[in-house]
Structure 1
């Protein structure tokens, strides 16, 4: 991943945007990673993956309910939180 400092990102904004079209760009502030800039296509792909993962979990849950395999709600939410 390419990295720019916050100051470089500000002064070389056009270059940073051009690079972000090809791969994500990390922007650091005070030497620490702060944000990532990416193409809209990459962002949309990530959002679609997140949505598909949620749909898969929901489908598994429905299948478990239909098969009579019920679980305590707190256990289920604890598992979901581990994935976040």
Structure 2
């Protein structure tokens, strides 16, 4: 993953938006990671996966609860 400092991200925002269409970019301030910027498509994929995993976890909890009763 590419990494840039916050000042660069600010001054090169247009270029940053183009870069994140291909790969996430980590933003650092004073050498410490503070954020990751990614494309809308990548965000939607991650969000959908999170929802899928939450639903699977909920289903397992319900199945476990049914076996205890």
Q: Same fold (TM over 0.5)?
A: yes
Kindly tell me the number of residue pairs found equivalent between the two proteins.
Answer: 69
Distance 1:64 1:10 in 2: 49
Question: Which structure exhibits the higher relative contact order, with contacts defined as CA atoms closer than 8 Å and separated by 6 or more residues?
Answer: 2
Unpaired runs of 5+ residues, structure 2, are none
Deviation of 1:8 (Å): 0.6
In structure 2, the residue matched to 1:80 is none
Instruction: Give TM-score, length-normalised by structure 2.
Output: 0.92
Say which SS state the counterpart of residue 68 (structure 2) adopts.
coil
Instruction: Kindly report structure 1 stretches of 4+ aligned residues shifted beyond 4 Å.
Output: none
RMSD, aligned CA: 1.1
Q: Please state if 1:45 is matched with 2:40.
A: no
The secondary structure found in structure 2 opposite 1:60 is helix
Long gaps (5+) in structure 1:
70-84
